[in-house]
Structure 1
Amino acid sequence: MSQTPKIGALAVVIHEGQALLVQRNKEPDAGLWGFPGGHVEWGETVLDAAARELREETGVIAEPMSYLDNLDLLLRDNDGQIRAHYLLVGVACRYISGTPIAADDARDAQWFPVDQVITGDLPMSERVPDLLRLAIARSGLGAT
């Protein structure tokens, strides 16, 4: 087991008052809704990774605009030992085109009203509503 944290990028896309979410197909959080994203590849920036993962998981094209926040995800076994460590970086992305279709490791991909996500009215990964609020506050994405 590598004792180096893995870096992941999360694409936060808001368009016409709706946020794009995917239902995860793999652990952690299989079955829960969250932002499209995945591992940053060697030589790739987090911004580029967010746009690539978004395209691969949903078919949606968006321009990465800015970093939002870093989220530490420490997965522990039953004895409390860390079995995986991820640093997830939220990226605000401006929608360009596409209709979401689940692909890669997403079970489903859909637009959800921003208010529904913020109120937590979906089975979601932890901190999804917080990251969405931050995207709206910092980037004005709620108006696009």
Structure 2
Amino acid sequence: MTQATPLLGAIAVVLRGDTVLLAQRSKAPDAGLWGFPGGHVELGETALEAARRELLEETGVAATPVEYLTNIDVLQRDSAGTVQVHYLLAAVLCDYVGGTPRAADDVLDAGWVDFDRVRAGQLRMSARVGSLLDLAIGRRQALRARP
């Protein structure tokens, strides 16, 4: 069944030291793959709020949204090339507040992963996890350099 309009989602990009919080999805899209925690934005909720809420629901980790990093289009097509599902994901940089990662909601596993492990592709990951991680690291450095 083809979707009529794009769906809005938010993903939380949380860095702690030289690690990033990743979650292994249990549902489509990307079931079994590792990526940033997140989900649907609810009516009346900003993507910043949704990133914070979904992060807590999926992993038990609390964080404060800092800023939008970028938007990511996720398009799933059938064999004829017709778009079946279209998600627009707002990637949100978040500051870690507390909590120990645990799998909850629609997540199989969650944990802190070393940057080098992500860059080396040692996990089966969703598209753009590495490039989004690098973007987040750059933004964190820029924000810390501000007077």
TM-score bin (small chain): over 0.9
Q: How many residues align?
A: 142
Which deviates the most, 78-87 or 124-133? 78-87
Q: Over aligned residues, Cα RMSD in angstroms?
A: 1.4
Name structure 1 gaps, 5 residues minimum: none
SS in 1 for 2:42: coil
1:49 and 2:53 matched = no
After superposition, what is the alpha-carbon deviation per residue over 1:3-26, rounded to whole angstroms, capped at 9, x for unaligned? 211011010001121100000000
Task: State how far apart, in whole Å, the 2-side matches of 1:74 and 1:2 are.
Answer: 11
- The 4+ residue runs of structure 1 with deviation greater than 4 A are none
Tell me by how many angstroms 1:118 deviates. Answer: 2.1
Do the aligned residues in 2 keep the contact of 1:119 with 1:129 (CA within 8 Å)? no
Q: Which residue of structure 2 lines up, in the alignment, with residue 75 of structure 1?
A: 76
Aligned to 1:13: 14
- Separation in 1, partners of 2:93, 2:121: 20
What are the superposed Cα offsets for residues 71-95 of structure 1, whole Å, 9 maximum, x if unpaired? 1111111221111110011100000
Q: Which residue of 2 aligns with 1:125?
A: 126
Shift of 1:115: 1.4
The answer for the alignment partner of 1:108 in structure 2 is 109
- In structure 2, the gaps of 5 or more residues are none
Task: Normalising by structure 1, report the TM-score.
Answer: 0.94
Deviation, structure 1 residue 46: 0.4
Give yes or no for contact 2:25–2:31 (8 Å, CA) kept in 1: yes
SS of residue matched to 2:31: coil
Identity of aligned residues (%): 57
Displacement of 1:114 after TM fit?
1.2
